[in-house]
Every structure is written in C-alpha cells, then in structure tokens.
A and B are shown apart, each in its own frame.
Chain A
Amino acid sequence: MHFADKQISKSTTIALTVRQSLIMAYRGLIKVRRTPEQLIDVTVQPILFTLMFAYLFGGAIAGNVHTYLPIVIPGILAQTVLTGSVAIGVNLREDMDKGVFDRFRSLPIARISPLAGALIADAIRYIIVTVLTFTMGYIMGMRPHAGFTGVLEASLLAIVFSWCVSWMFAFFGVIAKSAAGVQGISMMILFPLTFLSNAFVPVNTLPGPLKWFATVNPVSRLVNAIRMLLEQGKTGTDFWLSLVGGVVIMTVFSILTVRAYTRKAA
C-alpha cells in the first residue's frame, strides 16, 4: 500500500482539532509522569502557604487561626491556583524551542493543537492544587458551611478563572525570547494581582490607591465569590463579575496568543 490509497484533505476540521489537542494533552501528561518535579509549585505551595499565612497572620488579622481560616483559605486557593497557571508560559516557551516542535509544524495537524493540548494538560495541576489547599484547610480545622457542594463549586470557579488567566501567561510564553523572561514578567504580574487584593487582608485596611486597585482587581471578586460559595453556598454579583472578568481576559489573550502563535508556527 502506498500513498495513492490515501485521501488529501484541504483543511482541518473542528473534530480533528479537538482530537489532536487531546493527543497533545496526553503527551503533556506523559511528560508530567516523567518529570514529576514540574509539579513542585502546585504541591509545595498550598501546603506551605496555608500553614504560613494561617499561623503568621491569623492572630493579628482575625484574632485567632480558626476564625481566620474561612477568610484566608479562599485567598490562598485563588493565589495558588493562579500561580499554577503561570507555568504554561514557561513550558510553552521551552517546548517551542525544542526540535520536536519542528516535527509538529511539519505534520498536517491543526496549528493550534500543541498550544491547546498544553492548556488542557494543565487541568492536572489545577486539580492537585485545589485538592491540597482544601485538604490543608480541613486538617487545620476549617469546616465550610456549604459543605462539600460548596467546596466543589468554589474549586470549579477557581479553576475556570485561572484557566482563563492562563491564556495571558500562554501569550507571554509564545512571544517571549527566553523561558527566564517569561518567568520574570509573569511573576511581576502575578504578585500585585494576588497580594493587592482582599485575599489575605481586608481591603478597608489599605491606603487609598492600593484600596482602589484591590477593589477593581478581579482577583478580589474571585476571592469574595469563593468565600460566598463556601460559607453560604450562593452565587452573587462577585461570582458573575469574576466569571465575566475571566472570560474577558481569556477572550483578549486567546485571540492575541493564537495570532502570535500561528504566526510563529507558520
């Protein structure tokens, strides 16, 4: 049998694109299994941060650790999940510099599939980070009023939001010259976003400009929405605002990323 038996297709279909992206995600998961050390950020951080923040600030901010937990665990969840979304940029940059990307580019596959695959494979990171944060909270004595359903809904919201934001880091990964550069710029954006919010301290304790930023910061909306889901089992304005914020970020950066990426992959 030789080539004449085969069909030539003019372009790729959505179904094929999805299929190829899932294969790329599978490749990503094999790599995680080979080099588990790339999960260090999503495993160590939730453990370290829950302990550190709860015992360091618990007394000062909320009087004691136990009353601080419902405030700080949502904050840490938002922070650790968002931190987990940064890695996509570095990973993409490193991947695109490797020889195997030339192979992908020479295959008749959807241009976007290596990128989409990497974003899908990141689900494993989000799941780990969420499970660990809540487990730590549980061990330290947090019992959300909304129970397991609340935890599940809050986790989903945090993951969806972070996945949206990860398009921004993917964009830096695609346009940057080096992996170190991606890391640098991503951290510069991540730190103000997570710390200049209501994640760890009440906003009204902040001075003027910081207070303003912390209020408009979509991460504050996310943290509020998570607190509400955990304590009241309800979705309020903050839920919708954070979701809309996430979708806006994703829309803008997915367009930018795909454009930059296909140009580089052309």
Chain B
Amino acid sequence: MNSNKLSATAVQAQDLVKIFGDNYAVNGVDLSIPAGGIYGVLGPNGAGKTTTIRMLATLLRPDRGSAKIFGYDVVKDSHIVRQLIGVTGQYASVDEKLSATENLFIFSRLLGLSSRDARRKTTELLEEFGLTEAAKRPLGQYSGGMRRRLDLAASLINQPPLIFLDEPTTGLDPRTRNQMWNTIRRLVDEGSTVVLTTQYLDEADQLADRIAVIDRGKVIAEGTPAQLKAKVGRASLELEVADRENISFATEIISQILMTEVHVTATDLITAPLADAEVITDLLLALRNARIVLSSVSVKSPSLDEVFLTLTGHPTEPTTTVEN
C-alpha cells in the first residue's frame, strides 16, 4: 500500500515533442500545472492541443521530452498515472453499440468495482448527468450533448484527482455548454484538478485559473486570464444611434466619458476601446440625458483571432499569400 501523498504539481512537462511523419505536431511544450483549479490550453485547429493531452494521458508516447503526473512519469509509470487521471477525449470514447448503462457498468467493473458497487455507481452517474431516461438506449440514438456527458461521466467513475477534457464544449448548444461549465466547476470544488482544451478565449476566460496559449506545437503565452488579456489588448465598445443626425454629438459624449479616441465606421458604427466595463453605465446615462436614442450597443471582447494576431503576428487560419 502506498500513502497517497501526491505532489502539489499535477502536471510537469518538459520539452514534449511529437512528430507525425515530418510534421512537428507538438514542438517542445513545457507545462507546469498546479494541483487544484482549472487549467486551460487554448489554441486554434491543429495547434497540437489534442496531441499534447494524449501524451500527458499516456495514450501517445512522446518522441522527445518527458512529462510527470503528480510526480509519476507518463512513460515509465504509465500504470500508476492511469490510476490518477480521467480522460475525456475530443471524440467520444464510449462504446457506440452499448447503452449508457452498459458502458458505465463495464468501465466501473474494469476499474475494480464489485458488481453491486458498479451498478450503484452507474445509476448515480446517470442521474447526475441527466441520462437516466435514455440510459437503456444504444448510443446510436444519442445527441452530441448526451454523448459528451456520458463520456465525461465515464471519466469520473474512480474520482481521479486529475481530469483531462479535450474540447469539452465544442458542438454544444449554449444551455448545454453552461451545464458543462457548472459540472467542471463542481469537479474542482470537490478537489480535482481539471485540464481542458478549448478554441474559445471566452471559455478559457470564464473557466480557467491559468491558461497556456499554444500555436503550431509551441506554448506562446502562459498566465492568468487577466495577464493574457493585458498582453492582448482591450475589449471594444460598439454602438449605433437611431438618428444619424446625432452621431457627432454622441461621439463627443463618448469620447468625454471614456477619455479615448472614438471612431465612426463607414456603416455609421461608433467604436471605442473599452478599458473598464464599469464606465458603460455612466455612458448610457449620459447618452440618455442628452436624449440620444441608441439602436444597438455591444461590447466586443478580444477574439481569439486578435489574441493570435497579437501574440504571434499571424492569424489563426493559415492564409495564402498573394504575390504581386
């Protein structure tokens, strides 16, 4: 018997490299993820998120470098590492031909639960993830969201201290996404560490305590959401006035209150950088006092594209250069 004094660092990765053919999918990734909390790995398609997670989760052997999970090496101590992690891959890793109940029961039994405990655990998880009603149906008839939830449930059977979630909300509708966020937060409240990947800055911002931004197989920035956003730039305010006549008056008021330069686009959209969301209230009041009617107001957070543009100097999608 081992005393389970787990190291305070959940993930420690050094110079991880994975090469497919001559493609460096992961090209020297260093990560240090503290235990407790949510760690976001943010990056566009093909950045190497999945490949990184798969190496950390013992599913793929690194070509170079090393990684430790709570101090245990992912290659040498893979059997121990597997007892410490739960993995929900980007694509469903459950048995399509079986029902939700059968899936969870078999995974529970494989994890060493007795037949009775496995049945109890299965019922418990089905209820927790709102799958009780559909539990007996084969997965062929499940919606994307239900599959995702079942997949997550399957990763939680043995209450692992570290959970990897690869794009847990991609393809979910806003309501289901919110449920997923709540579930993830609850896992952390219960003491787990969650490492999740996402393509959405907004999601990383909402959920993660720390974020690593990766691009083309490399970590290009790391820090708290606030630190990253400070690097990236500010949100911007966009408004439209109902009556075109008022544009210049409105512009004047906005520039006074926000104390910045204000632009008007060709489509009469008034935009201004927004440093502090608090001032919006003041601004809206001032506009109303001036009897300026607005037809739309919105605050645009910096998009992932802008983050990438700022951090890497190239857009997320590879663009074809036109020679002239």
Contacts and interface: CB of A to CB of B under 8 A. Distances in A.
Interface of A: 1-4, 6-12, 16, 20, 23-24, 26-27, 30-31, 34-35, 98-109, 113, 266
B120 interface: no
Given A7-B1, A7-B2, A2 B107 contact: no
Interface stretch (B84-92, B122-130, B171-179, B283-291): B84-92
A173 to B, nearest CB: 18
Contacts of A98: 95-96
Main secondary structure of the interface of B (DSSP, over half): loop
Contacts of A24: 110
B159 A102 contact: no
A113 B106 CA distance: 13
Contacts of B4: 3-4, 6-8
Interface stretch (B56-64, B227-235, B242-250, B259-267): B56-64
A232 to B, nearest CB: 45
B83 A108 contact: yes
Given A12-B79, A30-B97, 7 more contacts: A3-B6, A6-B83, A34-B98, A106-B85, A106-B86, A107-B107, A107-B111
B190 A35 contact: no
B14 interface: no
Nearest to B108: A23
A8 B83 contact: yes
A3 B160 contact: yes
Contacts of B158: 6
B65 interface: no
A2 B78 CA distance: 21
B93 A100 contact: yes
B97 A9 contact: no
Contacts of B79: 9-12, 108
A39 B107 CA distance: 25
A6 B159 CA distance: 10
Contact of B97 (A6, A8, A35): A35
B8 to A, nearest CB: 14
B92 A99 contact: yes
Contact of B106 (A8, A23, A34): A23
**Which of B2, B82, B83, B86 gathers the greatest number of chain A CB atoms within 10 Å?**
B83
A31 B96 CA distance: 10
B87 A103 contact: yes
Nearest to A113: B110
Contacts of A10: 79-80
Contact of A26 (B89, B92, B106, B191): B106
Nearest to B59: A105
A266 B59 CA distance: 7
15 contacts: A7-B1, A7-B4, A27-B95, A31-B98, A35-B97, A99-B91, A99-B93, A99-B94, A102-B59, A103-B94, A106-B58, A106-B82, A107-B107, A108-B83, A113-B110
Interface in B175-225: 190-191
B98 A106 contact: no
Nearest to B140: A34
A100 B94 CA distance: 5
Nearest to B60: A266
